[in-house]
Amino acid sequence: MVLLDGRVAVVTCAGQGIDAAIARGLRSPGAQVVVSDINGDADMSVATDIGGTDVARDATDEQQMRHLVAATARDHGRRGLFVNSASMTPDASLQEVTGADFDKAITVHLHAAWPGVREASGVKPGQKTGSIVNISSLFGKSGNPGQTDRSAAKAWIVGLTKAAAKELAHHHVRVNAVHPSLTSTPMTAAAMPPEVLAE
Ligand SMILES: NC(=O)c1ccc[n+]([C@@H]2O[C@H](COP(=O)([O-])OP(=O)(O)OC[C@H]3O[C@@H](n4cnc5c(N)ncnc54)[C@H](O)[C@@H]3O)[C@@H](O)[C@H]2O)c1
């Protein structure tokens, strides 16, 4: 018997990068993992590697998140973990960031977290278990120059997480946020010169 035997984990945006690593990390201690990504081709290799299920889903789409949670509960049961993420580039300084950029950052980050939290929080009577993890960012706590839009959106995820945690505590459903710092992934590789990442 290993730690997550009998548990099912859904990981959104898991076709590559940090969330793909999370999906792989959850499989090792025994969870059945459902890998979801907006890019259907991307999630395939992760799911194949870990013997999981892959589903092409847009994490910002309420209806698609509802279907993802419902299909997972139907096929695997509900004793689970739901990992919510999002991603976007590029970043720009305060004077360069446009209203449209700002709206996009807010939409992608907030709308990727909110539907997942809401749909995953549908608790059956007597269930008394579950865990939701939102991927925020260190910059949501500390702020980062050139990332006012992303920092603001990630800070919002902290508020969402704290409120949802208080609301769901009496159902024994935990809601937490993790705050990665700069990590080498396809997103950062595309946005930063290798010498900056190497530092
Ligand atoms: N890499 C870093 O330095 C860093 C630092 C702090 C926080 N984060 C956070 O970690 C998470 C992952 O970052 P990463 O660097 O691994 O990103 P990445 O861009 O390398 O990978 C993101 C994955 O998400 C998928 N995706 C994007 N939008 C989606 C959507 N709407 N619905 C479903 N899938 C979608 C992409 O297809 C891709 O497979 C993000 O939430 C990011 O903000 C990353």
Question: 58: Cβ–Cβ under 8 A, 6 or more apart, which residues?
Answer: 38, 64
> Ligand 1 centroid vs 194 CA: distance in angstroms?
18
Does the residue 1 lie in any domain? no
pTM for this predicted structure: 0.93
User: What pLDDT score does 122 carry?
Assistant: 79
What is the full DSSP assignment across 118-130?
A: HHHT-PPTT----
Please give the chain's pLDDT, 199 residues, in tens. 678 998 999 999 999 999 999 999 999 999 999 999 998 877 678 988 998 888 888 998 889 999 998 999 899 886 689 999 987 777 889 999 999 988 988 888 888 888 889 888 876 666 778 899 999 999 999 999 999 999 999 999 999 999 999 999 988 999 999 999 999 999 888 888 778 777 7
Does the residue 72 lie in any domain? yes
Domain hosting 188: range is: 8-198
Does the residue 3 lie in any domain? no
Strands 8-11 and 80-84: parallel
Burial of 149: CB neighbours in 10 Å, binned 0-12, 13-18, 19+: buried
Is 135's C-beta closer than 6 angstroms to any atom of ligand 1? Answer: yes
Q: Which atom of ligand 1 is nearest to the CA of 42?
A: 39
Give the integer Cα–Cα distance in Å for 2 and 12.
23
Is 10's C-beta closer than 6 angstroms to any atom of ligand 1? Answer: no
Give the residue from 23, 51, 18, 55 showing the smallest Cα distance to 37: 55
Is 86's C-beta closer than 6 angstroms to any atom of ligand 1? Answer: yes
Is 188's C-beta closer than 6 angstroms to any atom of ligand 1? Answer: yes
Does the residue 115 lie in any domain? yes
Give the residue from 93, 29, 26 showing the smallest Cα distance to 53: 26
Number of domains into which the chain is organized: 1
CATH number of the domain at 147, please: 3.40.50.720
